[in-house]
Structure 1
Amino acid sequence: MIFYKGSLARYAAHESLSLGRQHLESPSQYRTDYQRDRDRIIHSAAFRRLEYKTQVFVNHEGDLFRTRLTHSLEVAQLSRTVARSLSLNEDLTEAIALAHDIGHTPFGHAGQDALHQCMKEFGGFEHNLQALRIVDELEDHYPAFRGLNLTFEVREGILKHCSSKQAKLLGRVASRFLYEPRTQPSLEAQIANLCDEIAYNNHDIDDALRAKLVSIQQLREQRLFNDHYTDVMMQWSILPQRRIIHETIRRMIGEQIANLIETSSTQLETLQPKSIDDVRAKEESMLTLSAAMYEKHLELKQFLRTQMYQHYRVQRMAFKARRVINGLFEAFNNDARLLPTETQTEVKRLQELLGNDSGRARATADYIAGMTDRYAIAEYERLYNPLELP
């Protein structure tokens, strides 16, 4: 069933109605504003670093595991399909999907949790807020402004979570987090969020099997996996197991994306939003999986949490990650002279803005969060291994 209508729905994000950029710029001659945002994200240093930031496994553990970069590309591909099928803005959806992970620390969620603990006295650390901080301030290439100067709609989509305390500091882009019940971002942002979940769950299965953290027998207890695995085995039983797994996961993703498109299309026809303002005013997302599919999705998510993320080998990696992050933060925050020269300059800039302790801590967190897995390990060795050259 093909849903694509070829033109934007009235409730899509129309560029002509964009809330604009923080700094005025002349329009591009050959690209839309959202295409321009996408390109700025792709060319950013933070996006390039995603190649060596991993989802669950440390980068040096293997070449075939997903990285934040491959995951972001997969989310963008799925998101474009859904946006096109629902007559929403593909360019905006793609830009949000590509940027959604750029605020992550090295070592995945273990690294984020460790850095958050280090920063507890100084406002904490959260990867969505860091992603917005990167595109608004830390990417420093353009002569007329700091950051990437992205459109409001991309910035809104990047910011998935935010406390009311932080929202007060961020202004209009975070206004939906200031009131209860909270309202919604654009449908394009909702797509990127849902496709992130779908890609994350299904591709973690592949990585978990490669790492031998879970077995086929265990996965067959999950309805979403078993339905497709059984069908593939009936049709292609003579194929090597790796190809059977690939085909099973491909079908799982296909079914969930089709379900998301069909269920959301019906939902939109029922609710009849007239504009993006109607979308934003809703308390709940207008895009959703069916109840039955969502139940299967949650079952799989819970299975991965128990069998993969809590596996002793993953916990050992998390233990090492915490040690590296804590060691780096302690050293750099106690003595800024250990930081690279340009980061020392950033320490001074933020101390003027935030005060001595808070500014130094935030600059240290920015430096650590921007590291790849490999670079964080190398920096730790340079600081703490007496045989390592500085």
Structure 2
Amino acid sequence: MTVRERIEETEERILAPYAARAALSAGRARPEEPCSVRTDYQRDVDRIVHSKAFRRLKHKTQVFLQPEGDHYRTRMTHTLEVSRIARTIARALRLNEDLTEAASLGHDLGHTPFGHAGEQALDELCPGGFRHNEQSLRVVELLENNGQGLNLTYEVRRGILCHTGDETAETLEGQIIRYADRIAYINHDIDDAMRAGIITKEDLPGEIVRVLGGSHRERINTLVTDLIRQSAEGTGLRMTPEVAAAMEALREFMFERVYRNPRAKGEEAKAKDALKRLFDYYVRYPEKLSEDYRLSLETEGLERTVCDYIAGMTDTYAVQKFNDAFVPAWWHVK
């Protein structure tokens, strides 16, 4: 018996009856020989963590554009927080932690530079619109690995795609990502907004504090433990109505006070304009695309390829390319 087979046997014994089992995965688009020491879901975790798209998340905006200070979240730290919350929930419900971890680590691989401002800009420009969850799926299915994709399992791909939007993942593990993502971003965005002086602890509505707690730790603990208690029977994921309503009210508070706050978002109009100008530039001069993207022009089309290229940029790389295209360089003698 291989190490992988022992792990799969352990999964059969200890996981809940309704949990996903790696041995019963619907598989990959391109069949592969199984690994001797890792299950298919464990291999997917490794493929995502070792991908270029994952490494780029450390230089992509979460909420604040290039904040001064080392303690603000990036898209990378957000992803790691989602992963930890998701695994805690999966472990408590006796679900498959490896599947949960893979989907959570991959859920934002398709996010643009400059956060949701970048997503809005590309949504106006790309044929058929742009949604970061769909782009995340496109990254793992097509764009990574020199156009070969990561060839992830069906269940991981569905968890990535369905973490937002109208579709629901078939597995409970995939469904956890939607909850973990919202729990993470609402609460760490509060933390960052307080650090930035956009809001104070006293600004949080009293009824929300009464239900969820007044501190970062208390709010996350309330949301996670309530979800676990209400979902313990395996018939679906849910929260008590009171806690679910408080979380939604907290999200609405963040939209009103932070996500649409001119002080916090004052530079986003510039960011959107920069991406729009870059899009027009590369459509006009496709020879300026990097070589690996130029290779996909024939199969993917010009505008789709330009969209993929810009979506994959980090904040700093997008600024660099904007400067290269539109800011005159100082002349010097060679």
**TM-score surpassing 0.5?**
yes
Contact 2:100 2:176 in 1 (8 A): yes
Contact 2:58 2:74 in 1 (8 A): yes
Contact 1:225 1:252 in 2 (8 A): no
Name the counterpart of 1:296: 246
Letter in 2 for 1:371: M
Name the counterpart of 1:361: 303
Contact 1:382 1:388 in 2 (8 A): no
Among the aligned pairs, what percent are the same residue? 44
Give me the whole-angstrom Cα distance separating, in 2, the residues matched to 1:151 and 1:311: 40
Q: Secondary structure at the match of 1:133?
A: helix
Cα shift at 1:21 = 0.5
Letter in 2 for 1:17: L
Q: What is the CA deviation profile of residues 258-314 of structure 1, one whole-angstrom value per residue up to 9, with x for unaligned ones?
A: 111001115x3xx4xxxxxxxxxxxxxx10111110111011101100000111123
Give me the whole-angstrom Cα distance separating, in 2, the residues matched to 1:183 and 1:217: 36
Letter in 1 for 2:239: L
Contact 2:212 2:243 in 1 (8 A): no
Distance 1:208 1:226, change over 3 A: farther
Name the counterpart of 1:93: 100
Name the counterpart of 1:312: 262
Name the counterpart of 2:84: 77
| Structure 2 residue 293 is the aligned partner of structure 1 residue 343 | yes
Name the counterpart of 1:353: none
Distance 1:205 1:225, change over 3 A: farther
Give me the whole-angstrom Cα distance separating, in 1, the residues matched to 2:293 and 2:281: 14
| Structure 2 residue 28 is the aligned partner of structure 1 residue 26 | no
Contact 1:79 1:94 in 2 (8 A): yes
Give me the whole-angstrom Cα distance separating, in 1, the residues matched to 2:237 and 2:97: 15
Give me the whole-angstrom Cα distance separating, in 1, the residues matched to 2:252 and 2:74: 22
Aligned residues: 320
Cα shift at 1:315 = 3.1
Cα shift at 1:88 = 0.5
Name the counterpart of 2:44: 37
Give me the whole-angstrom Cα distance separating, in 2, the residues matched to 1:162 and 1:55: 16
| Structure 2 residue 102 is the aligned partner of structure 1 residue 135 | no
Q: Secondary structure at the match of 2:209?
A: helix
Q: What is the CA deviation profile of residues 38-65 of structure 1, one whole-angstrom value per residue up to 9, with x for unaligned ones?
A: 0000000000000011211113543221
Q: Aligned-pair RMSD on alpha carbons?
A: 2.1
In structure 2, the gaps of 5 or more residues are 1-11
After TM superposition, the structure 1 = structure 2 runs for residues 1-390 of structure 1, keeping only pairs within 5 Å, are 7-59=14-66, 61-119=68-126, 122-140=127-145, 146-160=148-162, 184-219=169-204, 221=206, 223-224=208-209, 228-229=213-214, 248-266=215-233, 268=234, 271=235, 286-350=236-300, 359-387=301-329
Contact 2:108 2:132 in 1 (8 A): yes
Give me the whole-angstrom Cα distance separating, in 2, the residues matched to 1:162 and 1:311: 23
Distance 1:26 1:297, change over 3 A: same
Letter in 2 for 1:330: D
Letter in 2 for 1:72: T
Cα shift at 1:103 = 0.7
Q: TM-score, normalised by structure 1?
A: 0.78
Give me the whole-angstrom Cα distance separating, in 1, the residues matched to 2:269 and 2:305: 24
Q: TM-score, normalised by structure 2?
A: 0.90
Give me the whole-angstrom Cα distance separating, in 1, the residues matched to 2:46 and 2:212: 39
Give me the whole-angstrom Cα distance separating, in 2, the residues matched to 1:55 and 1:213: 16
Give me the whole-angstrom Cα distance separating, in 2, the residues matched to 1:310 and 1:294: 23
Q: What is the CA deviation profile of residues 89-131 of structure 1, one whole-angstrom value per residue up to 9, with x for unaligned ones?
A: 0000000000001010001111001011011xx2221111111
Letter in 2 for 1:189: G
Contact 2:212 2:246 in 1 (8 A): no
Q: What is the CA deviation profile of residues 318-358 of structure 1, one whole-angstrom value per residue up to 9, with x for unaligned ones?
A: 201111110110100112122233322222343xxxxxxxx
Letter in 2 for 1:363: T
Q: Secondary structure at the match of 1:139?
A: helix
Give me the whole-angstrom Cα distance separating, in 2, the residues matched to 1:16 and 1:43: 23
Contact 2:168 2:175 in 1 (8 A): no
Contact 1:224 1:300 in 2 (8 A): no
Name the counterpart of 2:8: none
Cα shift at 1:224 = 2.9
